[in-house]
Amino acid sequence: MIFSTPINGTLVRSTDIGGTVYAIYGGAKFGNTDTEQLAKVGYKIMIIGGIKIDDAQHLQQWQLDRLPDQVPQNGTLMQQKSEDGTTTVGAVYVIYGGAKFGITSPEQFAASGFNSVNVIGVPQWVLDRLPDQVPQNGTLMQQPGVGAVYVTYGGAKFGIVSEDQFNNSGFDWYNIIPVSDWVLDRLPDQVPQNGTLMQRNDPTSGAIYVTYGGAKFGITSPEQFAASGFNSVNVIGVPQWVLDRLPDQVPQNGTLMQQKSDDGTTTVGAVYVIYGGAKFGIHNPDEFTRLQLDSNKVIPVPGWVLERMNGIPVDGTLLKELDTLAIYYIVNGKKRLIPNQEIFNAHGWTNNSYGTVPPGYLEAIPNGLDYA
């Protein structure tokens, strides 16, 4: 049976009048039951001859089922409608993998090959439903004619290094989305969103991992999974090579963590800053401020995640303590003093190369010879 996708702005429903009405944009359906919001897209309910009627098209359920939920076609251009519906206002967005990417200038719009006649005016609530720059897991992207193909998981991009890797991962060449370089530039390299759950998918087996600060932490039992407040429906199946690229329990330097409460609604205890896979507790709010840290970047994590970062920082970590000048280089579990600025500069290090930790922690790390 032939079914044509309704045009942009079409209102459809399958239930009785008063139920969910769907607005169609970019071939996707956006459901709403708020009569005030629906009125702004032209939805009307009228009573004629004692019978309630509306102006939404009635579709069979199988027809509605064919319309993706809130995942417009790749390359769809959207902009907010004005209150009176006569024009559009604000940023223009392009949709890829169900996520919106804001276009920052007319020059970027033109360089991307877009055409203003294709921009769809949509209500703000439609734009609000689209995640910001977090494409669906498994989205394949490539800059046309240039470089690697990427697959996205947890909002991060992972470059595919060969045709064999692509094919062995079960990907389909027809699903690659051509995108501009600036779209790829906005996706972090191999740093999934905090709390992303992953498991090998070939076939799905083995440990489930949760990612924090770009590192993976293996979950050891169903009980630990449940106690952490995780949900199995959120586990993403990924190729083994994706998991292999995530460091084991060594988050990005400067990651901030605090234990989640048992009910997951708040955080408890000290805030820790992570360097070289080791945690350093911050003693008080004043110390937090003097370390120039951002409270908005504190990640709530299960207690067992923090317990795994009790050791000495990994080799190659550069550290200094707050209110001191000495900088140390960690090698083989020992800290080695960098004796002067000349040696520091000779290794190509800058002030962004080392982490500053609260006082009192570095004396617990054994001393080594000065670093030359």
Q: What is the pLDDT of residues 12-39, one digit of tens each?
A: 888 666 678 899 999 999 998 887 888 8
Q: Which residues pair with 22 in a beta bridge?
A: 12, 31
Decide if 157 contacts 187 (C-beta within 8 A): yes
* Model pLDDT for residues 60-119, shown as the tens digit of each residue: 888 888 899 999 999 999 999 887 777 888 899 999 999 999 999 999 999 999 999 999
pLDDT of residue 33: 85
Determine the Cα–Cα distance for residues 3 and 62; give it in Å rounded to an integer: 10
CA atoms 242, 248, 253, 255: torsion sign = positive
pLDDT of residue 83: 78
Asked if the model's pLDDT at residue 203 lies above 90, the reply is: no
| pTM as predicted | 0.90
- In whole angstroms, how far apart are CA 47 and each of 16, 22, 54, 59? 14, 21, 8, 21
pLDDT of residue 38: 82
pLDDT of residue 171: 95
pLDDT of residue 2: 54
* Model pLDDT for residues 229-284, shown as the tens digit of each residue: 999 999 999 999 999 999 999 999 999 999 998 887 888 899 999 999 999 999 99
Averaged pLDDT for residues 307-322: 93
What percent of the chain stands above pLDDT 70?
A: 95
Asked if the model's pLDDT at residue 1 lies above 60, the reply is: no
Determine the Cα–Cα distance for residues 197 and 224; give it in Å rounded to an integer: 13
| Least confident among 50-59, 190-199, 207-216, 320-329 | 50-59
pLDDT of residue 50: 63
Asked if the model's pLDDT at residue 333 lies above 80, the reply is: yes
Asked if the model's pLDDT at residue 215 lies above 90, the reply is: yes
Where does the pLDDT of residue 4 fall: very low under 50, low under 70, confident under 90, or very high at 90 and above?
Answer: confident
The angle at the Cα of 40, spanning 36 to 44, to the nearest 5 degrees, equals: 75
The one-character DSSP state at 72 is: P
- In whole angstroms, how far apart are CA 133 and each of 87, 139, 187, 348, 372? 25, 12, 7, 34, 44
pLDDT of residue 82: 84
The ranges assigned to domains in the chain are: 11-65, 318-364
Where does the pLDDT of residue 5 fall: very low under 50, low under 70, confident under 90, or very high at 90 and above?
Answer: confident
Round the average pLDDT of the chain to a whole number and report it. 91
DSSP letter string over 121-154? EE-HHHHHHS-BS-PPTTEEEEETTEEEEEEEET
pLDDT of residue 94: 97
| Least confident among 15-24, 142-151, 359-368 | 15-24
pLDDT of residue 349: 95
What percent of the chain stands above pLDDT 90?
A: 75
pLDDT of residue 46: 65
